[in-house]
Amino acid sequence: MIEQKKKIIFVLPLILIVSLVIIYFISRNKTLPTSISLPNPKVVPSPTLTLPIPSPTPALDLTNIEGDLKNIQKDLNVVKNEDRRLIPPSFLLDLGI
Amino acid sequence: MKIKVLVVFFLLLFLSSSGTKRVYAQQSSNRSYQSFVESYRRYQQYIEPFKTAKSQYLSFQSLESQVKLLDAARKMISSEVEAMLNFASFIRIRLVEATSVLNYNENFLFVKLDDEISFLSDAKEKIDGTTSLDELKNLTAELQSHYQTISQFSYEIKLVIETGSAQKIFDNLKVEKEKFQEYLQNEGLNEFNMKAAQNMLISFQKETAEANESLTKAKALLKKSGAESDKEGWQLITIVFNKLSLILDGYKGIVTSLK
């Protein structure tokens, strides 16, 4: 009985893995519906100027850097404030009697 | 099966508790500091009555004045120990935060702080049992020695936190420098402004190198303990923060010039 249980414990995960692999391969090999091919449109040469390729906006990068520098300044201020909290306070420890 | 369920349960419990530990530590360091401030203020209120009682005892030397002095001294020292205990607890919590946030891994400070906290808890109980001024004098002499140790730890923890924070700020500024360099590659920028900004970035290289050198030396000093190495460490960290402030102001200036 115990041996049978051990076999089941070993076999079940194996079955799970195998079934997942089978499902994966089935889904990959599914054929797509055939597409209707359209006739190629005639290419008309475009006149005049070529527009410049848009680049990532520089202004946004600068705003990003500015924001980062403000956060770094905040961190610097926090550390400076920490200076005071960790300075040990003074106590009257000599009774002078 | 039961064992597996128990293992999963304890694993989940451990994960959830470690996640909340940092949040709890951050909240409780502020609360702990507040407790210390309140207890320190209470202690300060007992100083004047003690001084008055002391001056009367020294003038009259009567039994009555001696009893009043003993009572005033007990109240003052009791509140003093309470404040010291709260301060030691606060610096311990700050060390916990430094350990989790700044990758500080040394344990000896924890062990020693726990010893001091334990001493102060015992001292608190002893005070009420004192029956003479001599006993109080001996106790305050002991307190003086232990408080010197706690103060030393506080300065060490301060150095740990400052060094770790300086490293993080230094690393962040390095990232910003790279962002600037990437930004200055943009073709759409005014050439004059671009060259000026590049020259400014180059001019901060010396400050960056000096900050890095001082930071490296300060980190090396963390491994040594003692007043002398701490003093040298703070001097180095002061240099680092001054350089970092200079670089930060310079970078802000570059942003303004490019706008």
- Give this prediction's pTM: 0.70
User: Of A28 and B164, which is predicted with more confidence?
Assistant: B164
State pLDDT tens for residues A56-74.
Answer: 566 678 899 999 999 999 9
- Return the residue of B nearest to A94 by Cα: B140
Task: Reply yes or no on whether the pLDDT at A14 is more than 60.
Answer: yes
Range B239-250 burial, b when 16+ CB lie within 10 A, else e? bbbebbeebbee
Residue B3 banded pLDDT, cuts 50, 70, 90: low
Contact list, A65 vs chain B (CB under 8 Å): 176, 179-180, 183, 251, 255
Mean of pLDDT values over A69-95? 89
CA B240 – CA B62 distance, rounded (Å): 59
| Contact list, B80 vs chain A (CB under 8 Å) | 91-93
Q: % helix / strand / coil in chain B, to the nearest 5?
A: 90, 0, 10
What angle do the packed helices B47-60 and B2-45 form, to 10 degrees?
50
Separation in Å, CA of B18 to nearest CA in chain A: 25
SS in 3 state form for B144-166?
A: HHHHHHHHHHHHHHHHHHHHHHH
Q: State how far residue B57 is from chain A, nearest Cα, in angstroms.
A: 9
Q: pLDDT for A35-55, tens place per residue?
A: 333 334 344 444 444 444 444
Query: Measured between CB atoms, does A54 come within 8 Å of chain B?
Result: no
Nearest CA in chain B to A76: B169
Q: Quick: pLDDT tens for B106-163.
A: 678 889 999 999 999 999 999 989 999 999 999 999 999 999 999 999 988 888 889 9
